[in-house]
Amino acid sequence: MTMTFDMSRLDAAIRRYRGAAVKETSEVVRMAARNFIVRAAGVTPPSINGKADGTSKKRGEAVIQNDLDHILVGLTPELYDQFMELGGKSVRREMRRKDGSVYVTDSDIAIGSISDWHKQNRRENGRVHRIGRKTRDIGRHKNWDRGVVQAADKKAYIKKVLARVGLLAAGWNASAIKLGARFPAWIKRHGHANGQCMVEENARGIRIRMENAVGFATKVRGLERRIKWAINAQANALDRAADNIMRKTAQRAGFR
């Protein structure tokens, strides 16, 4: 699946600013694209406030920590051995119907591979399944099993996954490099293989195509709406800049 966006609003703002600033089309288009890609990274999860900063990184790390705490239990070596001696499984909670029959059982289960367990419990958008799925007739119908591992193994796995924060935004790295935009280190660390930027310039004008090719990008809820916001925000910024230039020009000409 590919997301495509209507760029007519931004194109119009670029033309208006170019006329007001009396600059070459190529210069204005490159500037607008550079500023847009910064805005796009600033609304790509974990960033939500228009800025890809340290706060965004911490937010992403907190989401991952919370997700993994939801599906994993870490025990000391002694407690883990005791758990395994008891069969490696413990029923934590049972939900029963009015007649006493069980319809949902939540258990803690010893697992072999944390990575496989994480993948099994992960949705298409990367987040883990949560309890609380309900139907009108029986209420919650999804069990909540947690994988039991040694605490040191859980800690090591969480550290490994936390290092992935910024991977989605890294789909814009190729564009940032090509256009001269600056991204924080926690996004740049993932390289530029998951995106591309093509600049075509000839006698007819200039065309810039930016692509975020991270595999799960189209499955991230709200991402399309956020990128639309970044496009409009860049268009609005150009319009404000054009208004400011024309206002100053009029003042110098003696108009008030």
Residue 141 in this model has a pLDDT that exceeds 70: no
Q: What is the pLDDT of residues 225-248, one digit of tens each?
A: 999 999 999 999 999 999 999 999
- Cα separation of the two ends of the chain: 52
Q: What is the mean pLDDT of the chain?
A: 90
What interhelical angle do 8-21 and 223-252 show, nearest 10? 20
Nearest-10 Cα torsion for 60, 66, 68, 69:
160
Per-residue pLDDT at 135: 46
Instruction: Return the percentage of the chain with pLDDT > 70, whole number.
Output: 94
Residue 134 in this model has a pLDDT that exceeds 60: no
Instruction: Return the percentage of the chain with pLDDT > 90, whole number.
Output: 70
Per-residue pLDDT at 136: 44
What pTM value is reported for the model? 0.84
Q: Yes or no: say if 20 and 14 are a contact pair by the CB < 8 Å rule.
A: no
* Beta strands, E only, the chain: 72-75, 89-96, 102-110, 134-135, 139-140, 146-150, 195-202, 205-212
> What ranges do the domains of the chain cover?
8-46+166-251, 63-154
How far, in Å, CA of 29 to CA of 104, rounded? 58
Per-residue pLDDT at 3: 76
Per-residue pLDDT at 64: 95
What's the pLDDT band for 218 if we cut at 50, 70, 90? confident
Among the residue ranges 138-152, 195-209, 234-248, the one predicted with the least confidence is 138-152
